[in-house]
A and B are shown apart, each in its own frame.
Chain A
Amino acid sequence: MLARGLLASARENFNALPRMSRLLSTVKLPDLPYDYGALEPYISGQIMELHHSKHHAAYVANLNKALEQQAEAEAKGDVSKIITLQGAIKFNGGGHINHDIFWTNLVPPKDFEPPTGELEALIKAQWKSLDNFISTFNAQTAAVQGSGWGWLGYNKGTGRLEIIAMPNQDPLSITGLVPLLGVDVWEHAYYLQYKNVRPDYLKAIWNVVNWKNVADRLAAAKK
């Protein structure tokens, strides 16, 4: 009886310790490095505003909500609940990651510069020319079924660039590749301007690709 009492009291004391609560960092919607209308005429201001202030903002809000619910479930030891939240975390977390990269991958047309240096050399070595790289990229990306992204990624293992499409909001990082350049082909990325003609959007977007940013990401990946 004495042992039981000691055990109960020990348990009480343990439960009274401050929980090692997860450090909940709130994800924030990043600002765009340019005005909504800055990518015209290739991507309309209306699309950019909806895309950033509604779609990306929703991924951020819903990710934060899911992370908060996960923290609560963890505190309660509710593993079942944690598991049911993973879909929302993957979808909204991936949506946030992807768009966070995407905004930096774009640049106003007046500031556009083609790729140079090592990035240009790698592209030419693997695809013979920038044009050929673009048509290969566009063919694969146009063929995405439903919603998804086309990516240029860097394979740290082989030191090569790869073109790869990802479904829905699955981030490229889950493949092990380092994301360098993403092109969003969810319909919300182009519908108001290009309607069903995804290939026209894919032709246009290369006028606003920020190759300097792509090169910076490649350099960082190689460190």
Chain B
Amino acid sequence: MALSMKIQASSLIAGQRRVRPMTGRRAVVIKAALELKAPPYALDALEPHMSKQTLEFHWGKHHRAYVDNMNKQIAGTPLDGKSLEEVVLASWNGGSPTPVFNNAAQVWNHTFFWESMKPNGGGAPTGKLAEAIARDFGSFDKFKEEFKAAGLTQFGSGWAWLNADNSGKLSLSKTPNAVTPVVEGKTPILTVDVWEHAYYIDVQNRRPDYLTTFIEKLINWDVVAERYAAAQK
């Protein structure tokens, strides 16, 4: 099922709300649960580079579980009814994250990840972003090498990120588990998931192959460029 969704240029992704119906005669305070957002393409659309089966599990089970578990955790608490970004930042708790963070940040990270990819992706960036990559990494090839190295040297579960500051300077980072650069005051513009569940069905232990395929065949450079422009506003 192809969804046409406006790609969010900003690095802030708003969770959509589903309002529970009022029941009973007493006035009920309506709290809305945050929803699982679908990728902006069908689950088989990234084949053969990322299989439908991977998307079915990765989005349909893992991402969905993060959303469901987060909603269970925040129901009836002061975080109930807040936006996803607010929940992520609040649960980060200044570096001593609460159990909510493990789920909320993963909800955010995965949506950001799906939107970083597209069918027939890859290739190369153009314009201002391409110039910045050449300036800050030396060349596009060097960027690709370093981005891949970041993904490979995140020992254990985590993510590799390309970030931009508000002057347009680019930097790479890697984070463990659910941690996201947003809580470190950075503005990510691209990410790749290196939890094993992201690639195990398709390439098993071969994380290097997964990263090469992601870089060469999946990155949505249009979205990355939009996020890059937005980072400088």
Q: Which residues of A contact B (CB under 8 A)?
A: 50, 54-55, 58, 87, 91, 145-148, 167-169, 186-188, 191-192, 195-196
Contacts and interface: CB of A to CB of B under 8 A. Distances in A.
A146 B205 contact: no
A20 to B, nearest CB: 32
The 9 A-B residue pairs with the shortest CB-CB distance in the complex, in nearest-first order: A146-B157, A187-B196, A146-B177, A168-B156, A147-B156, A54-B205, A91-B155, A196-B61, A191-B200
Nearest to A91: B155
Given A146-B157, A195-B61, A196-B57, A54 B204 contact: yes
Nearest to A57: B205
13 contacts: A91-B156, A145-B177, A146-B156, A146-B177, A147-B156, A147-B195, A167-B156, A169-B156, A186-B196, A187-B200, A191-B201, A192-B200, A192-B204
Interface of B: 57, 61-62, 65, 102, 155-158, 176-178, 195-197, 200-201, 204-205
Contacts of A195: 57, 61
Given A50-B205, A188-B205, A196-B57, A146 B197 contact: no
Given A146-B158, A147-B157, A192 B195 contact: no
Contacts of B65: 196
Nearest to B101: A145
A192 B197 CA distance: 9
A187 to B, nearest CB: 4
A146 B176 CA distance: 8
Contacts of B196: 147, 186-188, 191
B1 to A, nearest CB: 22
B51 to A, nearest CB: 13
Contacts of B201: 191-192
B2 to A, nearest CB: 25
Which residue among A87, A146, A168, A187 has the maximum number of chain B CB atoms within 10 Å of its CB?
A146
Contacts of A168: 155-156
B155 A169 contact: yes
Contacts of B197: 187, 191, 196
A196 B68 CA distance: 14
Contacts of B177: 145-146
Contacts of B61: 195-196
Contacts of A169: 155-156
Which residue among A91, A186, A187, A192 has the maximum number of chain B CB atoms within 10 Å of its CB?
A187
Nearest to B206: A54
Contacts of A55: 205
Contacts of B57: 195-196
Contacts of B156: 91, 146-148, 167-169, 186
Contacts of B155: 87, 91, 168-169
Contacts of A191: 196-197, 200-201
Nearest to B176: A146
A191 B74 CA distance: 29
